[in-house]
Structure 1
Amino acid sequence: MAKSGQQILTTLRQMILSGEFAAGARLAEIPTAEKLGVSRTPIRIAFRALEQEGLLNKLSGRGYEVRSVSIEEIEGAVEVRGALEGLAARRAAEKGLTEEQKFRFETLLKIGDTLFEGHFPLMETDIEHYHDMNKAFHQLIIEVADNQAIAIALSRDEHIPFASVSALAYDKSNMIEETKRFQFAHTQHHHIYQTIVSKQSARAEMIMREHAHATLGHAHRYHDVDKKEGIKLIKNKSH
């Protein structure tokens, strides 16, 4: 079965994070497409997306280079994202939801519930659907908050690995644990929605911050990957 663009993007992201594509390595469309057994077009699109996420640097000539990223850089970006999304959740709770917004939230939550009820562990196609639902859920909170400054600041923060809600990474060799991780995140989605709909603004902000910071646990799983000359998420020795 042909891979979707999202599956190709996720595969390349994981290959970078795991060290299969080493930090400093140069990537080109044709050999990468041949390696994955796909055409050049989805590879080109994926490379651009990974550049936006901060995992690749565009070279002056053709191709890209895998970036080296410090764990401190990621921690800072996730902290900022947590603060911004927490503020958005607080504002959403203070403003309250329209019936149409409630319907959209509940529809997204049901999509997630159905995914986890259908398969355990999740399959690759399930995670692709989870990615779309998760992204829409976070975007809806920003939309309800109706604060352009928050949206602009978040868009700037998304250029650092793990800081973007769109940058989904998972270990295909350990789908049981990954399914549990996504299931926990979806449980947090329910809690966030309940605090927003009941106008518990302080609690909505707190849970949203915790939700963003859960990303750090996944990032720290890669912090020793420099031993394989991977993305080099290196912990500062002064910490």
Structure 2
Amino acid sequence: MISSISEQALEESSRSTHTARALMELREKILSGDYPGGTRLFEVPLAETLQISRTPVREVMSRLSEEGLLDRLPNGGFAVRSFTYADAVDSIELRGVLEGTAMRLAAERGVSQEGLERLHALLGRLDACFSEDFGEVDLEAYSSLNSAFHALVVKLSGSTVIRREIERATRLPFASPSAFLSGRAHVAAFRQSLHIAQDQHRSIVSAITAREGARAESLGREHARIARKNLEYAVHEAPELIQTVPGLVLLSS
């Protein structure tokens, strides 16, 4: 009996691992443009490509539909979703509104000393990503820490509702706080935006510490506009960058 239960647990664990791998693989294929917007995905060939059975394929596609990368078709099945430029702008604006609200709540409700210490510690680690003359930036470290900073601020709001909605809003890759960071240190416009963003990080922590809710909210909304400006730059001034920012290949002309 024990052996049977153990075998079942191992089988479920293995199936879960295969599904998680397939989810990551298909998500990456979509974000890199291997499956252009509008492409209908068929279970059998996709199962063969991902080397899993059809049941987890349906699970993977349902998950990516929840993330906003696939559309459910009226007659069944899924297709890769296309986005307009306006969709991308609206997604970033929505994140700014939600994060601004989270920052206001954190300031107004008050953050524990431990929470403030964690914020300041993250801020210090972000500062350390810049060289002394601010000419170079450890972009890989900054990207990871930036995501952690945003997640912590949202958590400190104390609102599970806001936290859940922000997670939903940032599932679209071009709307996430670090969408325009990884691998683009050579782009002067993006590199310059990091210094502005870090100044805003300091101001956000200051506003939350001083319990200045309106200021914290305003800073949060303005902070998200950096991503919007980077989006505008990539689409209108340097379209070759579209291939390097996850998800932007899904934008329709």
TM-score normalised to the size of structure 1?
Answer: 0.66
Matched AA of 1:202: A
| Higher Rg of the two aligned structures | 2
Q: Deviation per CA, 1:176-210, whole angstroms, max 9, x where unpaired?
A: 43221112111110010001101111011000010
Query: For the Cα contact (< 8 Å) 1:74–1:161, is it kept in 2?
Result: no
Q: Which amino acid aligns with 1:231?
A: L
Q: Which runs of 5+ in 2 are unaligned?
A: 1-24, 41-45, 50-62, 73-77
Cα distance, 1:231 vs. partner? 3.5
**% same residue:** 30
Change (3 A) 1:58 1:149: closer
Q: Is the 8 A contact 2:180 2:227 kept in 1?
A: no
The residue that corresponds to 1:219 in the other structure is: 231
Q: Which residue of 1 aligns with 2:222?
A: 210
User: Could you tell me which residue of structure 2 aligns to residue 120 of structure 1?
Assistant: 135
Is 1:192 the counterpart of 2:192 in the alignment?
A: no
Match of 1:133 in 2: 145
Q: 1:182 aligns with which of 163, 169, 194?
A: 194
Q: Kindly indicate whether residue 174 of structure 2 is the aligned counterpart of residue 162 of structure 1.
A: yes
Structure 2 CA distance for partners of 1:129 and 1:209, relative to 1, 3 Å:
same
Q: Distance in 1 between matches of 2:64 and 2:130?
A: 28
Partners in 2 of 1:202 and 1:146 — Cα distance?
17
Give the Cα–Cα distance (whole angstroms) in 2 for the partners of residues 65 and 181 of structure 1: 35
Partner in structure 1 of residue 108 of structure 2: 94
| 1:168 CA drift (Å) | 4.3
Contact 1:121 1:175 in 2 (8 A): no
- Please name the residue that 1:36 is paired with: none
Q: Which digits, 9 at most, give the CA deviation of each residue in 1:131-181, with x for residues without a partner?
A: 111111111111111111101111221233422225344563734432211
| Residues 1:232 and 2:247 are matched in the alignment | no
User: Could you list the runs of 5+ residues in structure 1 that have no partner in the other structure?
Assistant: 1-8, 32-48, 235-239
Distance 1:131 1:53 in 2: 21
* CA distance 1:76–1:112, change in 2 (3 Å): same
Distance 1:57 1:98, change over 3 A: same
Is the partner of 1:159 in helix, strand or coil? coil
Match of 1:34 in 2: none
Instruction: Report the alpha carbon displacement of residue 112 of structure 1 after superposing the two structures with TM.
Output: 1.2
Distance 2:35 2:181 in 1: 15
SS of 2:131's partner is helix
Change (3 A) 1:183 1:70: same
Contact map agreement 1:195 1:201 (CA 8 A) in 2? yes
**What RMSD over aligned residues (CA atoms) do the two structures have, in Å?**
4.1
SS of match in other structure, 1:214:
helix
2:103 touches 2:217 (CA, 8 Å); kept in 1? yes
CA distance in 2, matches of 1:173, 1:104: 27
